[in-house]
Structure formats: structure tokens, C-alpha cells
Amino acid sequence: MATTVLVPSDRLTVAFFDVGYHQMWHNAPVANVLENFQRLETKAARLMGQANGAAVWDNALKALQSIQKTQCGPKDKDGNIVLRYMVTFTDGEDNCSSNSLAAVVEAFRAPGMSNFNYLAMCVGAVDVFDMIYDAFELGLRGTG
């Protein structure tokens, strides 16, 4: 799938999380990631086998911090880097975050945050998908 969606000029930051945040690449050219795709699969499988919980909201905030460190890419009229996507794959079970979904939504809306589309893929967790969707939808309605 990745090879049919990504174009050579894309750049990726790839991280996995359980209770910790494990970043494999930061703002790397797509070619670097695709050339090392086996390494990506191996890391994902190893982390899934060791999972003792997930800090979804804490690690979403760490991903946002990583996005804010991105220095290259097209910019909007306010000078913010424009990224195409932030994608989160989750089973939706957050059992150890000190932050909440509301804190993540607030961070997304913070002045100076890069512009991007957020895609949450919640495997087997329709109720969590609905919760995330509703939180962002309410946040957008609040901006007028």
C-alpha cells in the first residue's frame, strides 16, 4: 500500500508506540523508508509481541512534537510547514496515558502547529473511532 500512496518527493516520520515512543525515522525521504521496509516490519512485529499497554494520547502528543521539529517542506501563508498526513494506527486501548484525547485536540489546534490531515485507523474499535471523530468535530465547531 505504501508504494501506491507515496510519491518520491514525500518525506516521512515513522514511529511506533506502546507505553513508550519509538521513532525510527524523522522527516526521511520515502526512498529511505521503503528501502528498509523489512526493518519497519520487524520492529512493528517485535513491539506488538512485547506490548504491555499503550499510551495513545501521550504518544500522539510526542508525534506532534516531532512534527513541530520538521524544518523542510512547503509552507502556508503564515509560515507553518504543510505536511500531508499524520496517521495513527491503534486498537484504541489507551491504558496508561497521563494525557487525554482533549489535550491532543487542543495541541492540534494550537497556534503555530503545522497544517496536516490527521487519520486515525482504529482496528476493531469503532467506539474509539467515534470518540476521536467526535472530539475533533466538536473542536472544529468551536472555532467558528
85-116, pLDDT tens digit by residue? 777 777 667 888 999 989 998 998 888 777 77
**pLDDT value for 123:** 73
Parallel, antiparallel or unpaired: strands 21-29 and 82-90: unpaired
Percent of the chain beyond pLDDT 70?
Answer: 79
**pLDDT value for 99:** 94
Whether residue 29 contacts residue 6, with contact meaning beta carbons closer than 8 Å, is answered with no
Whether residue 50 contacts residue 42, with contact meaning beta carbons closer than 8 Å, is answered with no
**pLDDT value for 55:** 86
